Structure 1
Amino acid sequence: MRKREKKQVALWMVMKRECRRLVSRPLYLFCMVVAPLFCYVFFTTLMSSGLPTDLPVGAVDMDNSATSRSIIRNLDAFGQTAVVAHYENVTEARIAMQEGKIYGFFYIPKGLSADAQSQRQPKLSFYTNNSYLIAGSLLFKDMKMMGELAAGAASRSVLYAKGATEDQAMSYLQPIVIDTHPLQNPWLNYSVYLCNTLVPGVLMLLIFMVTVYAIGVEIKDRTAREWLRMSNNSIYIALAGKLLPHTVVFFIMGIFYNVYLYGFLHFPCNSGILPMILATLCLVLASQCCGIVMIGTLPTLRLGLSFASLWGVLSFSVSGFSFPVMAMNPVLQGLSVLFPLRHYFLIYVDQALNGYSMIYSWPNYMALLIFMMLPFFVVNRLKETLIYYKYVP
């Protein structure tokens, strides 16, 4: 019992020491509180309307008829599209697009109305700048739809002129009606699509770097032996005492973003908020353990921070929220399991979006648990580093 009490006292002393270090260095406050809060607000307000609206486009109307003006007015009525300028020719519109004044332009050739009435198949053209992926994709969709609607309206007028009824005309123009139902995010809200992974991803990246820094700075400042002595020379007590205050702060920040996303912004959360809070706790612990492995593998502050930042940034690419993992190279598909954010993303899809029971996500919870076990492979090396390593600037 006496030995157990000594361990508890040592753990408490290390925790008190770490709390003093946290409040004495503004860097910790910035990385653990200010930066996450800023990212939460920044990402959720970046596209607060859900989708970009009123993207500027131009129009080149060579026909200048009632039909062409109607087409341009209808295009301007689309939510994502705003016709902000009319150009005399394609050259002027192309220069404006290259200068970044517009994201695309709609070209109506001369004689469109007359050719359509005489069934000579006039051509509508539209150009979008896909260097801006989201803007180009949304405008391409709107302009293509406008072209199809214009073609359908012309064909319908011809059919009416030949004596067809409205039902006959519509069955000819649209023999198969497509009924679409986007699941889980029916609003096609980009903020819902992006923020639920970007926000925890940023928190994970900060946990990586703060964990590496908190241990690496002990080595750099030559205080590692003092830290280890205070823990009765137990590397487990030393790590637990140092990182438990971090865990509390980061978990509070994780609870905050869950309440903010699902409670305040009312993002889809079909399983309830508690499973997502549990997943957040698992992500925080897994990220801290990964940070221990990083500094234990490369026990130099600059190398450890480089490792943490590289691994954290790569997590956004291979987690699957921006590009599906199943479409990646098979090697990258296999490597994707090495990133905690990938498993958190899959839990989010199962729990928040699909509303499945937690049992369906057990492989991902087990993966995060395995991340928590990784420090056992480096603790002995890390302890030797704390005792013998001499930092060289």
Structure 2
Amino acid sequence: MYAILRVARRELDYLLTRPIYLFGIIGAPLLVTLLLLYLMGSGLPTNMPVAVVDEDQSAPSRALVRNLDIFQSSEVVLKCSSMNEALRAMRQGKVYGIYHIPRGLQAEAGSARQPKLHYYTNSSYLMAGSFVFRDMKMLSELASAKVGLLTGQARGKTQEEIMGSIQPIVVRSEVMSNPQLNYAAYLTTTILPGVLQLMIFLMTSYAIGVEIKRKTAKEWLRLSEGSITLALLGKLCVHTLMFLAVGLGIQGILYGWMGFPLQSGWGAMALAMLLLVLASQALGIFFIALIPILRMGLSLGSLLGMLSFSISGMSVPVSSMIAPVQALAFIFPLRYYYQIGINQALIGAPLAESVPYYIGLLAFPLLPLVTLPRLKRYLTSIDYIA
């Protein structure tokens, strides 16, 4: 215990006198947190620009344009006289969608000749195109239902009879776990722990690698009485406490201040954060022990840390990946934290369903054990390779 405390006191002095530590452990994660939450403060993208080509210029067509502008995701910013003008605006990136109302809409609708509405979206911008498409499709379906309702009333039918023919089957949609459809509640609760995981990779590898580079490793081991295990425990316990405080602070911002869904309570996610910090530190040790050159260890941590965002299942479902990549997904702590977040925070599933993911995170600290002799050899007997 005395050896661990001596190393911890030395490491705390380093942390307080070198700004890079404080920025990497505290500044960078909190800065990304505030920036991302500011950018996604509305939960979903809103007021995405849309162009309208109204060739009918009738009361119903103008009502359609006003209704499209009311939708939260879409904003009519351009009224064009021709499709060529609207398409040119889309190619220039000024609008993400075009709503085309052909000439004769009112006349053809009144005579039951089935007029056609056209809408075009730029799916090069996947999210913007998808939301604009949803709004324009919904508006078109509502316009079709309104025409059917007016036609039926003109024929003397009751509203119940008309609705039975327009919508013979009523669909009731029940949104589970995220009823507000808040995209930020899904995205930020994974991206921000992923950023924290990345910084833990980097700072853990840096804290060990800099001992090799500056040739202070022997002094470090001397304080731990020659034990590489005690040396690592003393050095990283300070990092663990600080990273855990930052991680719990991020969770407090997400689930407390922002009010994102937390179905299972604080305990399950706090435990997941603790295990994420420990698992990420274990991988940071493994990286620098595998390649005991500071810049190479940092590069490996950066590569795998960034890769984990794509392969954790947050953006592309793991089940849709090829089998080797599905297996690769489970070498990242973020994958386990992501699954715990879905089960416990969003869905509120029984804790037993997340036990395998907790066990998976607990297995990571065993990984550096196989590389400790190699790391000690480099610390004591091999010169740093520039």
TM-score tier after normalising by the smaller chain length: over 0.9
Calculate percent identity across the aligned residue pairs: 48
Structure 1 residue 218: Cα displacement: 1.0
In structure 2, what is the Cα distance between the partners aligned to 1:164 and 1:254? 62
Please identify, of 90-99 and 136-145, the stretch whose mean Cα deviation from structure 2 is larger: 90-99
1:162-201 to structure 2, matched below 5 A, reads 162-201=155-194
Match for residue 107 of structure 1 among 100, 105, 123: 100
Letter in 1 for 2:198: L
Match for residue 248 of structure 2 among 244, 250, 255: 255
* Corresponding residue of 2:18: 25
Indicate the SS of the match to 1:48: coil
Q: Deviations over 1:81-108 (max 9, x none)?
A: 1111100111111111121221111011
In structure 1, what is the Cα distance between the partners aligned to 2:296 and 2:280? 17
Counterpart check, 1:158 vs 2:137: no
1:1-393 to structure 2, matched below 5 A, reads 8-393=1-386
Letter in 2 for 1:10: A
In structure 2, what is the Cα distance between the partners aligned to 1:154 and 1:382? 75
Structure 1 residue 62: Cα displacement: 0.8
Q: Deviations over 1:345-369 (max 9, x none)?
A: 1111121122233222111111111
Gaps of 5+ in 2: none
Which of structure 1's runs of 4+ aligned residues deviate more than 6 A? none
TM-score (normalizing by structure 1): 0.96
In structure 1, what is the Cα distance between the partners aligned to 2:128 and 2:140? 18
Q: How many residues align?
A: 386
Gaps of 5+ in 1: 1-7
Indicate the SS of the match to 1:269: coil
Indicate the SS of the match to 1:59: strand
Structure 1 residue 121: Cα displacement: 2.1
In structure 2, what is the Cα distance between the partners aligned to 1:244 and 1:146? 57
Letter in 2 for 1:351: Q
RMSD: 1.2
Letter in 2 for 1:103: Y
Structure 1 residue 195: Cα displacement: 0.9
In structure 2, what is the Cα distance between the partners aligned to 1:80 and 1:156? 27
Q: Deviations over 1:266-298 (max 9, x none)?
A: 111111112111110000000000100111111
TM-score (normalizing by structure 2): 0.97
Structure 1 residue 118: Cα displacement: 2.0
Indicate the SS of the match to 1:378: helix
Letter in 1 for 2:84: T
Indicate the SS of the match to 2:348: coil
